[in-house]
């Protein structure tokens, strides 16, 4: 029997079976902003950091483009540079449908439904993943980081933002209690918070800061820096 539960923002999710499909796209941005500290500020930071890497003729990718909010902001910020191509990939048709609406009017934005691990890439100067790779099964996580490294030009950048686990049990307890409080302050009920936690079992598997650094390092990145951190959420800049 299905266990369908409200996780906030008019989204229902089954236990251990969270999905970005269905009607999630309709309220995704609001739900993400209620659940992720500095959600919009992270977008702004990525846009500003893109100045250092996007050049005329650049190919740039967002993996897990969702509704296209960030990709449109990037394209707008770099619109004065000629022939930049922006490519967004998402496995959910409903997300890409919203992204097409949001990015309409930008001839240099391409949107694709599919598995980013199977996509045929052009060599890129910028790749972005905004709270996406934490949903890639651990058995495929290194493959994902390897693929991104291989498809960057030398000097190109990978901006990856992830939820991160604490380095030990005490820090993880602190982070979990703080995070539940953060969501309560944003209007989510205790039941909705618990339902979301239940829905993410086996679906989202965050690594620690060190775990993400190890993935980047094994992929080949040597120049890596944290560019944003808010307790249990962290953004990394890795340059090939």
Is 194 within a domain? Answer: no
Which residue has better confidence, 23 or 72?
72
CATH number, domain containing residue 111: 3.40.50.150
Q: What's residue 11's pLDDT?
A: 57
Q: What's residue 16's pLDDT?
A: 62
Evaluated on CA atoms 146, 148, 150, 154, the torsion sign reads negative
Q: What's residue 209's pLDDT?
A: 97
Q: pTM for this structure?
A: 0.93
C-alpha dihedral (133, 139, 142, 147), degrees to nearest 10: -80
**Residue 169 belongs to what domain range?**
38-179+206-239
Is 147 within a domain? Answer: yes
User: How many Å separate Cα 178 from the centre of its chain?
Assistant: 21
Is 187 within a domain? Answer: no
Q: Please say whether the beta carbons of 30 and 223 come within 8 A.
A: no
Is 30 within a domain? Answer: no
Is 211 within a domain? Answer: yes
Using pLDDT thresholds of 50, 70 and 90, give the confidence band for residue 138.
Answer: very high
Span 133-155, average pLDDT: 97
Domain count for the chain, please give it.
1
Q: Annotate 124-134 with b (16+ C-beta within 10 A) or e (fewer).
A: bbbbbbbbbbb
Is pLDDT at 212 greater than 60 in this prediction?
Answer: yes
Is 99 within a domain? Answer: yes
Is pLDDT at 1 greater than 70 in this prediction?
Answer: no
pLDDT digits (tens, 9 = 90+) for 3-19: 558 754 555 666 666 56
Please give the Cα distance from 34 to 31 (Å, whole number).
5
Rg (CA), the chain: 17
Is 138 within a domain? Answer: yes
Q: What's residue 5's pLDDT?
A: 81
Query: Does an H or E element contain 12, and which?
Result: strand 11-14
Is 7 within a domain? Answer: no
Average pLDDT, the chain: 93
pLDDT digits (tens, 9 = 90+) for 47-90: 999 999 999 999 999 999 999 999 999 999 999 999 999 999 99
Between the alpha carbon of residue 86 and those of residues 56, 57, 77, 194, 207, the distances in Å are 12, 10, 12, 37, 28
């Amino acid at each position: 029997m299905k266990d369908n539960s409200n996780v906030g923002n008019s989204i229902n999710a089954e236990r251990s079976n969270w999905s970005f499909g269905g009607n999630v796209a309709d309220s995704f941005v609001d739900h993400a902003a209620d659940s992720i500290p500095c959600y919009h500020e992270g977008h702004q930071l990525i846009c500003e950091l893109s100045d250092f890497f996007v050049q005329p003729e650049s190919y740039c990718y967002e993996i897990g483009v969702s509704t296209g909010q960030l990709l449109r902001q990037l394209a707008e910020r770099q619109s004065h540079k000629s022939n930049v191509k922006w490519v967004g990939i998402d496995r959910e048709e409903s997300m890409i449908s919203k992204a097409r609406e949001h990015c309409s009017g930008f001839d240099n934005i391409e949107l694709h439904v599919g598995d980013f691990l199977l996509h045929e890439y052009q060599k890129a100067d910028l790749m972005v993943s905004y709270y996406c790779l934490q949903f890639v099964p651990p058995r495929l996580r290194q493959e994902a980081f390897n693929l991104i490294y291989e498809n960057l030009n030398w000097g190109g950048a990978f901006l990856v933002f992830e939820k991160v686990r604490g380095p030990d049990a005490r820090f993880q307890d602190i982070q979990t209690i703080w995070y539940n409080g953060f969501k309560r302050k944003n209007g989510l009920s205790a039941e909705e918070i618990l339902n979301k936690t239940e829905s993410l079992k086996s679906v989202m598997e965050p690594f620690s800061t060190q775990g993400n650094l190890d993935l980047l390092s094994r992929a080949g990145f040597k120049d890596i820096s944290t560019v944003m951190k808010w307790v249990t959420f962290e953004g990394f800049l890795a340059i090939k």
